Amino acid sequence: MTRILNFFVIGLLAGLLVFYQYHRNQQLEREIQGLKAAAGLPVSPEGSGSAQSTDQPPALPAAPATLPAREMDIYDSRQNAITRAIANSADAVVGINVVQVREVRNPWLPQDPLGWMLFDERIWPRTFKQRVQNLGSGFIISSDGYIVTNEHVVRDAAEVVVTTTARHKYQAKTVGTDPLLDLALLEIDADNLPCIPLGNSDNVIVGEWVIAIGNPFGLFDVNDQPSVSVGVISAVKRDFASNIGGRIYTNMIQTDAAINRGNSGGPLLNAEGEAVGMNTLIFSESGGSVGVGFAIPSNRITATIDDLLKGGVDRNYWIGIRALDLNATMAKIYGLDSVRGAVVTSVDPGSPAARAGIRMEDVILEIGGRNVESARSAKDILRSTDLRVGDKLTMKIARKKRVFDVTFTLAPLPGGGQSQP
């Protein structure tokens, strides 16, 4: 009897153990299913008693059917339009190292010019030349060695060295520069080089993907590999009211792709691998990228390259007038509602202005569609407009209570001097 009782107790304990284990397994199964559901993984049917294998990666959610084909390509695969554009273009991006010669003030002399009289200039020169290194980016636009970059990258350059991703270094020759548009064309002695085609910047779309490639902070020199950042077109046709550093930036492309020091001159690519712009400047309080960068549109680059290959741009144009600010008395005499404009005080005989019929005491109200507030304003408008010899210029003129437009062609400055608008 005792033996039967022992067997009963052992069987009862074994049954309780099996029941507990079964209950525990069910609880673990429910916890696993809950974790899978939270992670977005496939979940086995309720009550199946077995978890679905996690050896296979979870299926991606279906892409929206409304996306265009190229966006579907970006959505579906790691190897997409962006990665292919980078792979096809990276070897055509170059690092540019520049040695500039600048004239700086002698720091050992007093700042007050009267104090200079105590020092012999032959022993203590007022200024001295200093070699300064600068860096930037560029990209090859033709297989025979033509490279474009920003003019401010190579300004005052005594030496320009171009480094390619193939670890080759070349002494570059400056074919030409356009300081006003901040563009420069370089040439290296090499053939069969990879190059980046210039796209049509008029066709860029706000919101489309773009890629900035370049040499930020000189990282290209670490392993001859450009750095890449990706963003979108944030805005187009950004015009800056005044010139920046003696240059004009109009019709600029805005992007949130990261642009930092050293990226200047590098390409801004679209998903087709075409350069739709050249990374040029940023807005930043810290000096680093905050997602507000600007690129020169590719159509302007194309037009400027043609000019530089032909010998450069002739901006020594001649208008042939001088002017002073309009005052309240003159405005009343001329029947003008506001005191704004510039009064013509003299007209050079035979000048474009004279041939167009502009006379003394005419009031200039607009130049090229931009309002003239004063004589200084008129000069600023001329300085901040891409004008060259042969261009047509329109001015709105007030004369004896009559307002009309005058259009004339800019002529070369007599004697080949420098224009002073």
From first CA to last CA, the distance across the chain in angstroms is: 124
Instruction: Provide the annotated active-site residues.
Output: 152, 182, 264
Q: Is the pLDDT of residue 238 over 60?
A: yes
So what's the pLDDT on residue 122?
64
Domain ranges of the chain: 64-313, 317-416
pLDDT band at residue 28, thresholds of 50, 70 and 90?
low
Q: Which residues contact 64 (CB under 8 A, 6 or more apart)?
A: none
pTM above threshold 0.85: no
Report the C-alpha gap between 66 and 295 in whole angstroms: 30
| Per-residue model confidence as pLDDT tens digits over 260-306 | 888 999 999 999 999 999 999 888 766 667 789 999 999 999 999 98
Q: Which two tokens stand for residue 287?
A: 């000096």
Task: Report which of 371, 356, 368, 370 is spatially closest to residue 321, judged by C-alpha positions.
Answer: 356
Q: Report which residue type is found at 50.
A: S
Q: How many CB atoms lie within 10 A of CB 47?
A: 7
Q: Does residue 34 carry a pLDDT above 90?
A: no
Q: What is the pLDDT of residues 216-228, one digit of tens each?
A: 888 877 777 899 9
Identify which of 76-85, 136-145, 152-161, 328-337 has the greatest average pLDDT: 136-145
The predicted structure's pLDDT at residue 384: 80
Long-range contacts of 67-76 (CB under 8 A, 24+ apart): 70/271, 74/209, 74/271
| Assigned superfamily of 317-416 | PDZ domain (2.30.42.10)
CATH architecture of 64-313: Beta Barrel (2.40)
